[in-house]
Structure 1
């Protein structure tokens, strides 16, 4: 899978707005992406305002097409409004499985 890991500092009082934006993305943009998508959202241990995101698509081509979608760009602009500054982004290629 190919995607990104992002780190950002949440502005005070923006937790609800962030959650609403992520729900909007799932409703409006996710259905337009072929194949599996993995989204993980959390925070650094003990630092609730330091948000960590992992977003993965089935392959790099799918990821690049998502990045080129106008509605994804508009989401990105709104997404950045809840943070104190520009998130840091790291593109990654990951394999994963779940084991007992």
Structure 2
């Protein structure tokens, strides 16, 4: 069963591009079990972001989360935020894909 997290983050002013580059860097690492990330910038506040990350399983999610490499990536991301992210981990109970799925 797929597993992942939804994180709420508040970016420091001017850090939007650096956050996106940090996420692209993670994608380029080809982390085992990683499937996708969705990053939302809220209409109500351009510094308010929600990120949904999907892994193939709980085991691959936690193997990544506990790795020294992920700790280094987290520290880099954290330096761009006003506070620690708020994490909500869990099993993905349902997925629906529309015909228009693709890169934004």
Normalised by the length of structure 1, the TM-score is 0.88
Q: Equivalent residues in 2 for 1:43-54 (5 A)?
A: 43-54=41-52
Structure-1 residue corresponding to 2:17: 16
Matched with 1:97 is 96
Cα deviations by residue, 1:37-68 (Å, 9 ceiling, x for unpaired): 12100122322110000001011111111112
Partner-residue secondary structure (3-state), 1:97:
coil
Partner of 1:59: 57
SS in 1 for 2:47: strand
Considering only aligned residues, what root-mean-square deviation do their CA atoms show, in Å?
Answer: 1.4
Q: In structure 2, how many angstroms separate the alpha carbons of the residues matched to 1:74 and 1:58?
A: 22
Cα deviation, residue 20, structure 1:
1.4
* Structure 1, gaps ≥5 residues long: none
Please state which structure has a larger fraction of its residues in helix. 1
TM-score, normalised by the number of residues in structure 2: 0.85
Q: Which runs of 5+ in 2 are unaligned?
A: 100-104
Aligned partners of 1:52 and 1:16: how far apart in 2? 15
